Every structure is written in C-alpha cells, then in structure tokens.
Amino acid sequence: MKFSLKKQLPSIPQSPLGNAIIAFIRNNHDKHWFRWTKRISLTLVASILLFLILNSIFPLHTKVEYAQLITAKDGSVLYAFLSHDDKWRMKTELNEITPELRKAIIHKEDRLFYYHPGVNVMAIGRAVVNNIFTGRKTSGASTITMQVARLLEPKQRTYGNKIIEIFRALQLEWYYSKDEILQLYLNLVPYGGNVEGVKSAALLYFGQLPNRLSVAQITTLAIVPNRPTSLSLNRNPVLLKQERDKWLKRFQEDEIFSDTLIDDAINEPLQLRRTPLPNIAPHLSYRLHTKYPEQAILKTTLNRITQDKVQQLAYNYHKRIRKYNIHNLAVIVADNKKREIIAYIGSPDFTDNDHAGQVDNARAIRSPGSTLKPLVYALGIEAGKITPKTMLLDVPSQFGGYSPENFDQKFNGAVTVENALVNSLNIPAVKVLEDITVPVFVNKLKAARFEQISRDERKLGLSVILGGCGTTLEELVGLYSSFANEGLFTPISSFQSSDGEKKTTVRLISRQAAYMINEILMQAVRPDLPTGYQNSYHAPPIAWKTGTSYGRKDAWSIGYNRKYTVGVWVGNANAEGVPELTGADIATPLLFQLFNTIDYNAAGSRLLAPKNMPLRLVCTETGLLPGDYCTHQVVDYYIPLISNTQTCKHMKEVPVSADESFSYCTACLPESGYKKKLYENLPPALVSFYNTWSVAYRRIPPHNPSCTRVFQSGAPQIVTPADGREYMVDATEPPEMLLTCHVDNDVKQVYWYINDKFYKAAKATDRVFFKPDLGEVKISCSDDKGRNTNISIVVKKM
Ligand SMILES: [Zn+2]
Ligand SMILES: [Zn+2]
C-alpha cells in the first residue's frame, strides 16, 4: 500500500514553522513514515496480545466482602452487620456519589482520572525520577485505579509489586467503567481501625449517608485515607480541621466549588463523633440477613417514621402489661394498597435477654385462636349457605365425636351469623366449617400462603377453626389485608426484591362476601371491646377481630381499614399462659393505640361498600326469605343467584283438638271438632336446648293417642355417644356412658335399647347413663310415635 500525505498537506495552515515541518516530512516520510507506523502498530498489537494473555492467566478478582446494610424504604439505614472479615466496609451506591463528592476526591487524588487508561505514564516517570534523585518513595504516581488495585490486593511497596499494580489497573479499566472504579475506590478507602469506605466513615462519624454530606464533611473524608497515621477521625481534631481548611482553600483556588460553598464549609465546625449504628427493626434485619447473607444492601419496605412510632408504642405498652407477667408482643403494620410491611416489631425489647427479646414473635408459629373465623363465614356466604342474618344454632353439638364449647362455656341457642362472628361463638363456626368442608377451607389458607397449615394439611380437622393449627402473625396480616382489598390476596412483602419478582394476586373470596364480613367486623358495639374501653380508648373506625388461644397463651387482635392492616400478638415467647391474656383485653388496646397513631384521621380510610350490594328482606327468626307466617322481617345483604332462597318455615300450622290437649295428623284428622293453631317449628337440637335450659316456647300437644299411623321422618337423633366411634375404657372400672338425644317438638317420651334389649324409658331431655360391655354395642332410641334410630359404637380396653 502506498501511503500518500501529499493531497492532505495543503490544509495545514501556512506558517514558517509549519512550512519547515512540511518540508521535513516531504523529505523523509517516504522513507520513515511507513516503517514507524508499522513499528508502532506491531508494538500496540503485541502489547494488547500480551495483556490478553496475562489477563487470562492472572484473572482479576474484585469480589469485595461488604458489611451488610438493612435499609428502610427511604434508604436510611435500619441495621448493619459486620462483613465476614469483621470490617465496617459498606457499599456506596452510585446514586450516593454526589457531584461534590466525586469532584473533591478526583481533584485531590487523580485529576486526570477520566482521561488516563488506569495508569498515568507522565506521573510514573516523574515519580521514578524523583525516587532516583531523592531516594524517597512517593505514592503520588498512583491513580485512583491503581489505588483500587492495591486496596483489592494489599502488597508491600516494591517496584515489582508496582508493576503488578499497573497491570491490575489496566485490567480494572478493561472491565469496569470509570464510575464503577471510583465506586470501588470509595468503598475500599481505609479510615483507620476496621472502618473502610466513605459510607462507613460518613455513617459512623457523621451519622449521615454519603449523599447527605456537606462540602466540609466531604473534604474531611477526602483527606484522611492517605494519611492514616497522622490524620485520623478519632484524634487530633485541630490538625484535621487545619488540613480540611487548607484543602478547602485549594479547592477554591482551583475553582472546584463556588466561593459561597467554600465560605460555608470553612465556617462549619468540625463535629466528629463516633456514633453507634442504628438498631431499628432488628428482628426483620436478622431474618433478612440470614436469608440473603451475600447482598450488600437489603432494602426493606419499612417506613422509617411508622416503624419508630410503632416501636415506641410497643415498648411502652409492654412495660404496662409486665405486671400480669406478660413480657412479649409482636406487631406488623401492612400497607394494603402496596401490599408491603411498613412496620415490623418482633418483640418489644430486643435487648431483654430475660424474656427472650431476640425471639421474632412476628413469625413464630402459634395457635391463631379464633382469628380464622372471618374466613370461614366468608366462605359460607360465598357458598350460598349463609348470609349475615342467617340463624345458626349455638347449642351443645357433636361433630363426629368432636364437641366444642364456647370460650365462656355457655350456649346461646339461636344466633345470627353476625352475632356468632362478633361474639366469636365456637359451635356455629364449626358448623359452617363442617358445611363448607375442611379441605375447601384449608385450600383457601394454602392459597393465602399459610405455610404450617400447608404442611399439616392432612392432620387438620374441624378444630382448625378454633385454633387447632399453627399460623404466624405475618400470615394472619396477609389474610386480613385481603378483606381490605375486596377479597383479593397478594403476598405481603417486607423487602424490595432485586430480581423484580412479580407478585401474583389470587381472588380468595368474592367482593360481596368480603364486604359482608367487613360490615360485621366494623360494628362498634361489641363484646370484644376491652373492659372499660369507653374511658380509656378511642375506638377507631376499623374492622377487627380478636382471638385467644387455648390455655391463654396467645392474645390476638387484627384490624384493618382501607389503608392499613395491623396485626397484634401479645403473650410470652416461652408460651406461658396467663389468666389475664385475652385478645379483647390485652391485644385490642394496643391495636387501637396503633391505629390512632399511624392513621389518626382514619375517616378517609373507611372501608367502602362495593357497587351493587343488593339487599333483601328476610325473616328475623331464621334469616330465610319470609314465609306466610313470618311477621318480623329485617333487611339483609345477599348474593343474587348464590345465596340460599329457601322460604322460612319457622311457624307451622297444626290441627289440634278443641281443648288443645292433643294434635292430629292427616291420617287421624276428624271431620270436625278440631282447630288449626300456629306453633314454632323448631329444629330438634334447639328443642333439646330449650328443654334443658327451661326456655319457654309453645309446644305442640302430644299426638292423638288413638292414631295408628307409623311415622317415618323425624326420628330421634342420638347425640351421645357418637355413632361409629371407638371408646377406650378402663376394664377394671368401666365408666358410665351418657345417652342423650334430640327429638321433634311434639315428642315427650323416648325408649332406650342396648343391643336390642329394652333398657330404660325416659323423658326426651333426661340424661340417661349405662355401663357398656366391651366390644361392639348397638344403641337404639325410639320415640312415642314409634320412630327409631340405631347407632353402634365399639368399646375397647384401655
Ligand atoms: Zn320466619
Ligand atoms: Zn295421627
């Protein structure tokens, strides 16, 4: 290739020197130009090849062990963990490197940082010359990149090591941008002791993040690292201030910062104080630290202000309940719209070693007491089986051998769904669960990410609704938050995932069912208000539900409005029960305090009814559509095409003799001499309950004694013992077993048979006892209309 410069030369400006150069080149270029370009190119190619070969043999290691920071949503530090090598070496993020910080560091350390390829050849040359003539080793030739190389692999200062450093610097420049190299430098610069990096120094000595530092503070941090012995953040503040002001003036001369900035900086006193790192949300911090140990910065969703307020309330509250020997509590506050935890208290005092302050009660698996009941009623509503005014029976009942009792061990007869939920009655809840079935209920809880319940799925029975299962406060808050979100469940997160994990939303319950439950739980007049609450507490307009576990080990109160869901657990971390421990009296007061603090003007956070919430009139006696004799009616919500459309038959017309001494059926009804009368058409279980507790109701007179008809339906129901069940008895001293039954309204007498042998005649409400033999036992009960029921049980030796 013939290289020609001639055509381009005339564009060079004409001047005596220019003409001379042109003449020189014209005379020589043909001979030399080609040779020199070739040499330079070959050297370049060879150097690059050499670099690439060395680069593959000696790969660059830039993995830095950072001290992990847990931050609030606004970026402020909540908690910090030492790095694996016990250093406070915190990662400064790119957005924390302000222009002021960058300018100060670059101007002081390496003014040509953005222009050199990692090494500054001129500076190295100058340093070598200096070393030779003065015999002193200076580090002035080190670029920021070379300093990073040295900080990554600390070595003695020898010429050999300097060459390695240069090579590493070239590698760094090859792989990283200038900003990333500067970031590495800022993360690694030493500040004495185990403090490394600008961020650690800023937090530990100024209590500030790097992007909040003043110019004076930036300058202080810029001058310390290269003089670790003479300048220190710990001692000699006078010298440090002199140095700082000297550099500030130099920055001013070099026009790095404006005069006003410099004047302000020089007037700023040097206030250095080693401040302890923040100690906020330690339970959540440890939890995330254990789960993601390698992440330098873990960004939680916590709201710093809310967290501080909640922590303060929790701490004060725990001091008040200490007198009852109750020492722990946990609180979670979730933002319902963002589905994020904004406050997280695992225990009131992390440092309280006497009462296991480090235990994170917010994620401890505990019995939920009655707190799952809203879900079971919601599912009952959704299945069309109940509406808020549906009457349920709260009477002694058997569910396949399981006979739950209420918290107060009393029974209330017939109650509406509303009352059953607000009063947290057990039997109605178990009945609704039996109707919708345990698997349907458990599947919903699995969809709402209840982990222990998912694991125990096969073991769970009807008692799950009374707390016979394991849940965490966090799971319960997630569940209740879906009531506030019109029935939609989205997992609640506590940290901002770096992989942008998308949250999946599932419909847990219909919008209408969720609202019906919200309305019930928003009722202001309730039995589960704290004792004497009117004087002490201002009840906020929220929906809430309390719970108390068996043995009074756990007190729960979970409340929500449109904005927030707040979950409170109170108890002892060692699961010690306390008589005073109930959801209403111990957990609810704190729940109210929390709502009144974090959402004081909660009027705008009220839960709203969805559009098209239809209403209908139902009979007050049953909650069913009014029949011919239903005189008392009430307005109730329902779901069209789903809710039960049965007509109420709470009264029935019965033909009776003129003196009302007996009743007739169609078979024995005389042609005349009778009258028709209305009687309450009560279910047998309620009849038994009324008879036992002497509740007055109008009984149907006994049936016409001369009637010969054999009745088929309405046979007695044997309540105890339970059909098909095995009973283990002590063979030496076999206990007596109780026989009880439910019968129709008009039955007076029943007849008990054991293994087909007549045993005893009794009133339907009598408690009859017998001693069973071992083996299979057949038990029969007949009523005075000849209707009969058989069951069989197995009695075994213990
Ligand atoms: Zn009715
Ligand atoms: Zn008859």
Q: DSSP letters along 758-780, please?
A: EEEEEETT--EEE-PPSEEEEEE
Q: Strands 757-763, 768-770: parallel, antiparallel or unpaired by DSSP?
A: unpaired
CA atoms of 531 and 550, how far apart (whole Å): 20
| DSSP 8-state symbol, 391 | E
- Residues 562-596 have pLDDT tens digits of 999 999 999 999 989 999 899 989 999 999 999 99
Give the closest ligand to the alpha carbon of residue 709: 2
- In angstroms, what is the span from residue 630 Cα to ligand 1's centroid? 4
Q: How far is CA 434 from the centre of its chain?
A: 29
Ligand nearest to the CA of 674: 2
pLDDT confidence band for 26 (50 / 70 / 90): low
The Cα 29–Cα 4 span in angstroms is 9
What is the pLDDT confidence band of residue 657, given thresholds at 50, 70 and 90? very high
Most confident listed range (475-479, 605-609, 768-772)? 475-479
Mean pLDDT of the chain: 88
664 C-alpha to ligand 2 centroid (Å): 5
Cα–ligand 2 centroid distance for 676 (angstroms): 15
The residue-averaged pLDDT of 779-793 equals 89
Alpha carbon of 746 to ligand 1 centroid (Å): 20
Contacts of 350 (CB under 8 A, 6+ apart): 279, 282, 283, 357, 358
Residue 406 alpha carbon to ligand 1 centre in Å:
27
Q: φ and ψ at 77, to 5 degrees?
A: -80, 130
pLDDT-wise least confident of 103-117, 171-185, 696-710, 771-785? 696-710
For residue 708, the ligand closest to its alpha carbon is 2
Ligand 1 centre distance from Cα of residue 285 (Å):
58
Local structure of residue 700 (DSSP, 8 states): P
- pLDDT band at 378; cut points 50, 70, 90: very high
Contact, 545 vs 371, CB < 8 A?
A: yes
Cα of 742 vs centre of ligand 2, distance in Å, is 21
Three-state SS at 10: helix
Cα(650) to centroid(ligand 1), Å: 5
Helix (H, G, I), strand (E, B) or coil at 42: helix
Inform me whether the pLDDT recorded for 13 exceeds 70: no
Q: Which ligand is nearest to the CA of 652?
A: 1
Using alpha carbons, list the distances in angstroms from residue 711 to 364, 373, 703, 783: 57, 40, 11, 10
Q: Is the pLDDT of residue 163 over 90?
A: no
Q: What pLDDT, on a 0 to 100 scale, did the predictor assign at position 291?
A: 92
| pLDDT value for 511 | 94
DSSP letters spanning 549-571:
-TTS-EEEEEEE-SSEEEEEEEE
Q: Rounded to the nearest whole angstrom, what is the distance from the C-alpha of residue 669 to the centroid of ligand 2?
A: 7
Contacts of 331 (CB under 8 A, 6+ apart): 310, 314, 343, 344, 345, 362, 566, 567, 568, 569, 590, 594
What average pLDDT does the segment 519-529 reach? Answer: 83
Q: How confident is the model at residue 746 (pLDDT cuts 50, 70, 90)?
A: confident
Ligand nearest to the CA of residue 704, numbered in listed order: 2
Residue 569, φ and ψ in degrees, nearest 5: -120, 135
Q: Give the pLDDT confidence score for residue 17 in this predicted structure.
A: 65
Which of 37-41, 157-161, 285-289, 534-538 has the highest mean predicted lDDT (pLDDT)? 285-289
Mean pLDDT throughout 160-175? Answer: 89
Cβ(323)–Cβ(575) below 8 Å: no
68-71 vs 615-619, strand pairing mode: unpaired
| pLDDT given at position 541 | 86
The pLDDT of residue 331? 98
pLDDT above 90 covers a percentage of the chain that reads: 55
Sequence-ordered list of residues with C-beta below 8 angstroms from that of 271, at least 6 positions apart, any chain: 206
pLDDT at 528: 76
Alpha carbon of 681 to ligand 1 centroid (Å):
10
Q: Nearest 10 degrees: CA dihedral of 203, 204, 207, 208?
A: -20
Q: For 663-719, how does the pLDDT look when each residue is reduced to its tens digit (9 = 90+)?
A: 898 888 899 889 999 999 888 888 888 888 888 888 888 888 787 776 767 788 888
Nearest ligand by distance to the CA of 710: 2
Q: How many residues does the chain have?
A: 798
CA of 708 to the centre of ligand 2 (A): 7
* Residue 603 reports pLDDT greater than 80: no
What is the distance between the alpha carbons of residues 367 and 549, in angstroms, rounded to a whole number? 6
239 pLDDT tier (thresholds 50, 70, 90): confident
Instruction: Please give the distance, rounded to the nearest whole angstrom, from the Cα atom of residue 652 to the centre of ligand 1.
Output: 10
Q: Which amino acid is it at 290? A: T
- pTM of the predicted model, to two decimals? 0.82
* pLDDT value, residue 203: 93
What span, in angstroms and rounded, lies between the C-alpha atoms of 299 and 80?
A: 12
- Ligand in nearest proximity to the CA of 619: 1
Least confident of 7-11, 56-60, 310-314, 395-399: 7-11
Give the pair of three-digit tokens for residue 741: 């039954």
Q: 741 with 691: CB under 8 angstroms?
A: no
**How remote is the CA of residue 714 from the centroid of ligand 2, in Å?**
14
Report CA(56)–ligand 2 centroid distance (Å).
Answer: 104
Spatial distance between the Cα atoms of 2 and 8, rounded to a whole number of angstroms: 15
| Rounded-to-integer distance, Cα 702 and Cα 747, Å | 7
Distance CA 94, CA 97 (A): 5
Q: What is the pLDDT of residue 383?
A: 96
Task: Give the ligand at the shortest distance from the Cα of 633.
Answer: 1
pLDDT 10s digits, 54-92: 888 888 888 899 999 999 999 999 999 999 999 999 999
Closest CA to 377 of 460, 465, 299, 270: 465
Whether the predicted pLDDT of 4 surpasses 60:
no
Alpha carbon of 691 to ligand 1 centroid (Å): 21
The alpha carbon of 742 and the centre of ligand 1 are apart by a number of angstroms equal to 22
Instruction: Report CA(785)–ligand 2 centroid distance (Å).
Output: 9
What is the structure's pLDDT at 8?
Answer: 44
Are 748 and 716 a contacting pair, CB within 8 Å? no
User: Which H/E stretch holds residue 329?
Assistant: strand 328-335
Q: Indicate the Cα dihedral angle 334, 589, 368, 547, nearest 10°.
A: -130
- In the structure encoding, which two tokens stand for residue 351, read together? 């440092």
Name the pLDDT band for 618 (thresholds 50, 70, 90).
very high
Residue ranges of alpha helices (H) inside 192-336 are 198-201, 215-223, 237-253, 259-267, 282-291, 304-321
Ligand with an atom nearest the CA of residue 647: 1
Longest alpha-carbon distance in the chain: 148
Q: Say what the pLDDT of residue 235 is.
A: 75
Tokens coding 521: 């739980």
- Tell me: pLDDT of 738 over 70: yes
pLDDT at residue 301 is higher than 80:
yes
Residue 246's pLDDT is 92
